Amino acid sequence: MTAPQLTDPFAREISYLRVSVTDRCDFRCAYCMAEHMSFLPKKELLSLEELDRLCTQFVELGVRKLRITGGEPLVRRGIMGFFNAMGRHLESGALEELTLTTNGSQLRRHAADLFAAGVRRVNVSLDTLDEAKFAEITRWGRLAQVLDGIDAAQEAGLKIKINAVALKGFNDVEVHRMVEWCGARGFDLTFIEVMPMGEMDADRLDQYWPLDAVRAELATRWRLSESAHRTGGPARYMRVEETGGRIGFITPLTHNFCESCNRVRLTCTGQLYMCLGQDDDADLRAVLRANPTDNAALEAAIREAISRKPKGHDFDYSRREVRGEVSRHMSVTGG
C-alpha cells in the first residue's frame, strides 16, 4: 500500500523537497553569507548515506521534486555518488524531477555527470555580468569560471535558468543587459527579492529593490506578456516578446506566494524547516540516528513536522524597517 500524501494543516500537499547538502561554499555572496563564516564540523553533517535515507523517505511519502542546494552543493566531496543514488527514483518513476541550484563554479567538472545521473535542468545564481561587480558581490568569485561552467552545462544538454537577486544600487542598471543576454542564450531568467535572513554587513533596506519596480523598469524596453509556465516553485513568469524567453519573479515581500506553498527544506544537519521565513524546525537527524533501521519512526517525525507547517512567512520591509527577520543565514537552508 502507498503511504498517504503529506498534507499540511492548510490542505497543501507537500511534493517538493529542497535539500542543502553542505553549508560550505567557494563564494561569500554578500546577501547570503557573512564574509568570515564559521562552518559546521563534519560530525554534525548528515552523511551522504543518511541524506539518501531521508530523501528516499520523503519520496515514498509523495515528494515528486527534489532540488539539491547548499551552500554550494558541488563542493561537497562525493556528491556525484548522491546524485547517482537519487537517480534510481527517477528511473522507478517515483521522482519526477531532480534539479540543482549552484553558483556555477564547479559545473565544468560535473555537468556531464549530472546529466548522466538524470538531472535535466539547473538554476545558476548570477547577479551580474560585470566582472568587477561579480567579484564585489561574491567576495571571492571568478566570473569567467562561472560563465565557463554555464557553457559546460549547455554542452552537456542541461537546461539553464539564471537566478538574480535584485539589489538596488548594485545590479539595477544591468537588468536590460541580463534579459538580452539570457534571451540570446536561451536561458530563463528569474529575479528574486532580497530576504531578511542572517546578520549581514550590508543594510537590507538599502539593498531592497521591490520586483514591482523591476518589472516596471523592464517594461520600458521589453514587451512582457503573461505566461502560464510553472516549474513547481514560487516564480511567476512573463514572456519577453522580443526574445521569446521567459522572466520569472519571486516576490516573498511584495506579493508573497505562501497560499500555494508545496515545499519544505532539509538542512545538511537534518533540520527540517517547514517555512523559509520561520525559525520553527524539526530535528530529523536525531530521529534518523536513534532509529537506524526504523523508518516508521522517521515517517512519524516527518508527518509531525508537516503538521506544524505555518500558513506563511512574516517578511516585511514596510515602514522603513526590517520585519520578520530570521537569524539563520540563507546558506543554511539553501534558499
Q: Is 168 annotated as a binding residue?
A: no
State pLDDT tens for residues 297-326.
999 999 999 999 988 755 444 444 444 444
Q: β-strand 236-240 against 121-125: which pairing, if any?
A: unpaired
Give the pLDDT confidence score for residue 197 in this predicted structure.
Answer: 44
Cα atoms found within 13 Å of the Cα of residue 167, Cβ hemisphere only: 21
Give the pLDDT confidence score for residue 277 in this predicted structure.
Answer: 72
Say how far apart CA 174 and CA 178 lie, in whole Å: 6
Q: Is 142 annotated as a binding residue?
A: no
Q: What is the pLDDT along the chain (335 residues), one digit of tens a residue?
A: 466 789 999 999 999 999 999 999 999 888 777 777 778 888 899 999 999 999 999 999 999 999 999 999 999 999 999 999 999 999 999 999 999 999 999 999 999 999 999 999 999 999 999 999 999 999 988 999 999 999 999 999 999 999 999 999 999 999 999 999 999 999 999 999 886 544 544 455 567 888 999 999 999 999 999 998 887 777 889 999 999 999 999 875 545 557 778 999 999 999 999 987 778 899 999 999 999 999 999 999 999 999 999 887 554 444 444 444 445 455 556 55
Single pTM value for the model: 0.88
> 90 is written with which cell numbers?
527517477
Domains of the chain: 16-333 (3.20.20.70)
Q: Is 268 annotated as a binding residue?
A: no
Q: Is 55 annotated as a binding residue?
A: no
Give the pLDDT confidence score for residue 235 in this predicted structure.
Answer: 81
Q: Is 182 annotated as a binding residue?
A: no
Give the pLDDT confidence score for residue 196 in this predicted structure.
Answer: 56
Say how far apart CA 185 and CA 182 lie, in whole Å: 5
Q: Is 92 annotated as a binding residue?
A: no
Give the pLDDT confidence score for residue 82 in this predicted structure.
Answer: 98
Give the pLDDT confidence score for residue 153 in this predicted structure.
Answer: 98
Q: Is 77 annotated as a binding residue?
A: no
Are the C-beta atoms of residues 52 and 21 closer than 8 Å to each other? no
Q: Is 19 annotated as a binding residue?
A: no
- Cell numbers 533540520 correspond to what residue? 271
Give the pLDDT confidence score for residue 215 in this predicted structure.
Answer: 94
Q: Is 47 annotated as a binding residue?
A: no
State pLDDT tens for residues 212-227.
999 999 999 999 999 9
